[in-house]
Amino acid sequence: MKHVLVLSTLYPNALDPRRGTFVARSVEALAKRGDWKVSVVNPIGLSPLALGRSRALAGLPQVAREGGVTVHRARYTLLPGIGARRNVAAMARAVLPLAQHIHRESPIDLVDAQLFFPDGPAAAEVARALGLPLSVMARGPELARWSGQDHARRQMVAAAQAARGLLAVSRASTAQLAALGVDPARITLLPAGLDRDRFRPFNHTRLRRQLSEELGFAMPDNAPLVVCAGALTERKGQAIVIRALRLVEGARLVLAGTGEDLGRLRALAASQRVADRVFFAGAVDHDLMPLILSAADVSVLPSAAEGMANVWVESLACGTPVVTSDVGAARELIASDVAGRLVGRTPEAVAAGINAILKAPPPRENVAALVEGLSWDANAAALAAHYERLLAT
């Protein structure tokens, strides 16, 4: 059995179970195949003062068996602002001894970085030290965020040059890499994954009533239901959705996620006089999310940046059309009115997109059919084939 070391700063944990679930599902499906052993190293940056969230993160187990995969959590000191230039080096210093230990216990064949920055440059140093081939994944938001900073762009380009092969989640991410000077011929497109057992249309008539009882939030059958799933941050655009709610008559909004903007968003809902129509669901259990998406009329995510957002795929699989901004791979997935609408990042544009779908809702089975070919098993098969090609090169 071949052995891949996956380095990913995006990975779920007990404090943030929805963080990087797409990485976890992908490597879990790969491990389940039986032809690749998977070891995950999840670097966790901690502030110099181990207080609050940093203290809680420091308390996570250093090694855990999760979803059939062994996850190692390496701590390093994260220096915000002026320390950004040094954070990659600090991460690599923390990961390398752990990677060497794993390599001695069970020889590694390949190192895989699941994000181009900061994971890619750190993984490049680890792969170089171990004398192993490297694969690096481009998801999109990290390229948009960091390519404008000279130090990060240099490190990303160097990582791309050091890698034996590259992955991208979408054609948009491939174009972003090409803009950095990377030869598109070196990039393999990795289709999105989907948990088909969970994410499918649930059309039974009492779904909203059951959810209303479980969540303690009224979801009348005769009122439009909008869901916005994602970390509560300015980048995701929940504030835009709250402001748009006043322009969608009678609509209820479920915000699924946690984050730094929770207090600000609660205050905004109150100031907009829609607090009674907004429900903050917090971190939603993975088994509950398909029910919420199926109960909703529209899934909304007016992000400033995305790659291939998992919630887009999951929403469509549940038969729920999507209103989102034209970022990342949105145009590749939301390619017709059946899938939803691409809109500007203003309350008026978001409300117009929602109202257009409410006025002429597409059949849920037609929406779900748009992603019927996606699964985590197919994703894992494509990932394994990519790894095999790199080892044969």
Query: Into how many domains does the chain fold?
Result: 2
* Other C-beta atoms lying within 10 Å of the C-beta of residue 393: 8
Does residue 202 lie within any of the structural domains? no
The answer to whether 113 and 135 have CB atoms below 8 angstroms apart is: yes
Could you read off the pLDDT tens digit of each residue along the chain, which spans 393 residues? 999 999 999 999 988 888 899 999 999 999 999 999 999 999 999 887 766 678 888 889 999 999 999 999 999 988 766 566 788 999 999 999 999 999 999 999 999 999 999 999 999 999 999 999 999 999 988 998 899 999 999 999 999 999 999 999 999 999 999 999 999 999 999 989 999 889 999 977 789 999 999 899 999 999 999 999 999 999 999 999 999 999 999 999 999 999 999 999 999 999 999 999 999 999 888 889 999 999 999 999 999 989 899 999 999 999 999 999 999 899 999 999 999 999 999 999 999 999 999 999 999 999 999 999 999 999 999 999 999 999 998
Does residue 150 lie within any of the structural domains? yes
Same domain, residue pair 187 and 212: no
Same domain, residue pair 186 and 276: no
Q: Is 324 helix (H, G, I), strand (E, B) or coil?
A: strand
Same domain, residue pair 119 and 258: no
CATH number of the domain enclosing 213: 3.40.50.2000
Give the DSSP letter string of 244-290.
HGGGSTT-EEEEEB--TTHHHHHHHHHHTT-GGGEEEEES--TTTHH
Same domain, residue pair 27 and 171: yes
- Tell me the residue range of the domain where 136 lies: 2-193+375-392
Task: Say how far apart CA 94 and CA 268 lie, in whole Å.
Answer: 41
Same domain, residue pair 167 and 247: no
Structure tokens at 95: 């990961």
**What pLDDT does 58 receive?**
86
Same domain, residue pair 285 and 338: yes
Same domain, residue pair 365 and 382: no
Does residue 105 lie within any of the structural domains? yes
The answer to whether 248 and 358 have CB atoms below 8 angstroms apart is: yes
**What pLDDT does 8 receive?**
98
- Of 93, 69, 87, which is closest to residue 5 (Cα–Cα)? 69
Does residue 62 lie within any of the structural domains? yes
Does residue 199 lie within any of the structural domains? no
**What pLDDT does 17 receive?**
83
What strands lie across the sheet with 2-7, from one edge to the other? 63-66, 69-77, 36-46, 2-7, 110-113, 134-138, 165-168, 187-189
**What pLDDT does 48 receive?**
79
* Helix spans in the chain (H): 21-33, 52-58, 84-105, 119-130, 141-146, 150-162, 171-179, 207-215, 238-244, 262-271, 289-295, 310-317, 330-333, 347-359, 364-369, 376-392
Does residue 102 lie within any of the structural domains? yes
Residue in the structure block whose two tokens are 């320390």: 83
**What pLDDT does 83 receive?**
61
**What pLDDT does 86 receive?**
85
The answer to whether 53 and 20 have CB atoms below 8 angstroms apart is: no
Same domain, residue pair 236 and 347: yes
Does residue 74 lie within any of the structural domains? yes
Alpha-carbon distances, residue 324 vs 41, 246, 265 (angstroms): 32, 18, 19
Same domain, residue pair 295 and 346: yes
Structure tokens at 178: 């090409």
Same domain, residue pair 300 and 353: yes
Does residue 336 lie within any of the structural domains? yes
Structure tokens at 51: 């207080």
Same domain, residue pair 232 and 138: no
Same domain, residue pair 215 and 135: no
Task: Say how far apart CA 379 and CA 362 lie, in whole Å.
Answer: 28
